[in-house]
């Protein structure tokens, strides 16, 4: 059973807000802050996973205890003890990478056509004819995304069925320890970092199945990995065309939201064509602009947001998120 309470936050590095956010929800969640116990995932930090003193001090400023689940370290230990598991995962990741390359070829042409039609529409010519062509071009992009996501899921399911990581001797004891920590925790927090590394570790240990109904607070790459589809984006990267891509199926803790951490640095939010295309491509999901100080809450029924938290719209603008 998934948690009813999920809170997605903006980046925490320079302006941490997770502790205050938890405190604001303490009464509704039944938390006694001086005695609260936090299970934390920092696997996206990779080798820096254990450098969590700042996060610990922030979370536990009002008391309580924090336990780092150490998923990155545990995975490295499992790989050393089980080379067969590591080899199988490397083969799986190689197949996924090749799928991504093929998808990228189809996607680029489809996005170019959709953008060109949206740009033409800014001139006001062709009216209904153009609107129909624009809609069909965006539908083409959505079909490419959906087909790719389906293939990624097929590959993932086949790999999990072949390797059965949760049953392996190198993984099972770690998973049992993780489960014991979570069972004695009140809140689960998932930090950011390298999103693919984080997602792989979450999946290796089946973390989502262990959380139960405990509230979850996630930010940056942590929020992305917990979603139902992992969308990576950068409108102006050092190399490449700057096309947003469906990189993976997330662990599916929530749906209906595309988290966009660091959006003001990675997206051309002043460009109505790019904003509109992004919103129409991934709609009806809420494409949430998650910069510092923002938050979006799931209560089991609907998304709501803190003041000033915005979404991309099909009109090419930004608007505050309402329920």
Q: Does residue 31 sit within a domain? A: yes
Q: Does residue 173 sit within a domain? A: yes
Q: Does residue 184 sit within a domain? A: yes
Indicate the residue among 111, 138, 163 that finishes a domain. Answer: 163
* pLDDT tens, residue by residue, 134-151: 999 999 999 999 999 999
Rounded to 10 degrees, what is the CA torsion of 247, 252, 255, 261? -50
pLDDT > 70? residue 153: yes
Q: Which residues form the domain of 45?
A: 6-79+165-320
Give the per-residue pLDDT at 123: 67
Q: 112 and 40: one domain?
A: no
pTM over 0.85: yes
Nearest to 265 by CA among 295, 240, 235: 235
Q: Does residue 177 sit within a domain? A: yes
Q: 150 and 187: one domain?
A: no
Q: 185 and 288: one domain?
A: yes
Instruction: Return the sign of the alpha-carbon dihedral for residues 238, 239, 245, 246.
Output: negative
Q: 177 and 151: one domain?
A: no
Q: 141 and 187: one domain?
A: no
Give the per-residue pLDDT at 2: 65
Q: Residue 133 — very low, low, confident or very high, per pLDDT cuts 50/70/90?
A: very high
Q: How far apart are CA 131 and CA 147, in angstroms?
A: 24
Q: 41 and 190: one domain?
A: yes
pLDDT > 70? residue 32: yes
Instruction: Provide the CATH number for the domain around residue 296.
Output: 3.40.50.880
Report the mean per-residue pLDDT for the chain.
93
pLDDT > 90? residue 302: no
Indicate the residue among 163, 181, 210 that finishes a domain. Answer: 163
* pLDDT tens, residue by residue, 76-112: 999 999 999 999 999 999 999 999 999 999 999 999 9
Q: 133 and 256: one domain?
A: no
Q: 63 and 184: one domain?
A: yes
Give the per-residue pLDDT at 39: 97
Q: Is 124 left (phi over 0), alpha (psi -120 to 50) or beta?
A: left
The answer to whether 285 and 258 have CB atoms below 8 angstroms apart is yes
Angstrom CA distances, 168 to 178, 203, 221, 224, stand at 15, 14, 28, 28
Q: Does residue 89 sit within a domain? A: no
Q: 148 and 184: one domain?
A: no
Give the per-residue pLDDT at 100: 96
Q: 153 and 172: one domain?
A: no
Q: 158 and 176: one domain?
A: no
Indicate the residue among 103, 137, 163 that finishes a domain. Answer: 163
Q: 285 and 196: one domain?
A: yes
Q: How many domains does the chain have?
A: 2
Q: Does residue 84 sit within a domain? A: no
* pLDDT tens, residue by residue, 282-294: 999 999 999 999 9
Q: Read off the pLDDT of each residue in 248-264 and give the average, rounded to a whole number.
A: 92
Q: Does residue 205 sit within a domain? A: yes
């Amino acid at each position: 059973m998934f948690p009813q309470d999920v809170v997605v936050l903006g980046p925490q590095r320079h302006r941490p807000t997770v502790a205050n956010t938890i405190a604001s929800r303490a009464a509704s969640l039944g938390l006694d802050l001086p005695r609260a116990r936090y299970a934390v995932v920092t696997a996206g930090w990779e080798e820096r996973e254990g450098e969590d003193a700042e996060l610990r001090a922030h979370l536990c400023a009002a008391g309580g205890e924090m336990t780092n689940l150490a998923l990155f370290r545990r995975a490295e230990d499992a790989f050393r003890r089980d080379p067969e598991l590591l080899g199988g995962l490397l083969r799986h990741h190689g197949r996924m990478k090749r799928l991504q390359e093929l998808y990228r070829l189809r996607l680029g042409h489809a996005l170019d056509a959709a953008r060109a039609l949206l740009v033409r529409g800014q001139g006001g010519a062709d009216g209904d004819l153009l609107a129909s062509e624009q809609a069909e071009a965006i539908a083409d992009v959505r079909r490419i995304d959906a087909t790719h996501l389906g293939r990624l899921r097929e590959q993932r399911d086949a790999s999990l069925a072949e390797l059965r990581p949760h049953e392996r001797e190198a993984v099972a004891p770690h998973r049992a320890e993780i489960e014991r920590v979570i069972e004695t925790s009140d809140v689960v927090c998932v930090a950011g970092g390298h999103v693919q590394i984080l997602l792989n570790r979450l999946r290796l240990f089946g973390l989502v199945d262990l959380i139960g109904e405990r509230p979850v607070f996630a930010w940056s790459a942590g929020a992305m990995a917990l979603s139902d589809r992992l969308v990576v984006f950068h409108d102006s990267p050092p190399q490449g065309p700057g096309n947003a891509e469906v990189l993976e199926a997330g662990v599916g803790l929530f749906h209906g939201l595309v988290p966009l951490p660091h959006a003001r640095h990675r997206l051309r939010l002043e460009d109505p064509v790019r904003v509109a295309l992004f919103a129409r491509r991934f709609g009806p999901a809420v494409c949430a602009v998650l910069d510092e100080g923002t938050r979006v809450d799931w209560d089991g029924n609907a998304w709501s947001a803190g003041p000033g938290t915005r979404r991309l719209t099909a009109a090419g603008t930004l608007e505050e998120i309402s329920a």
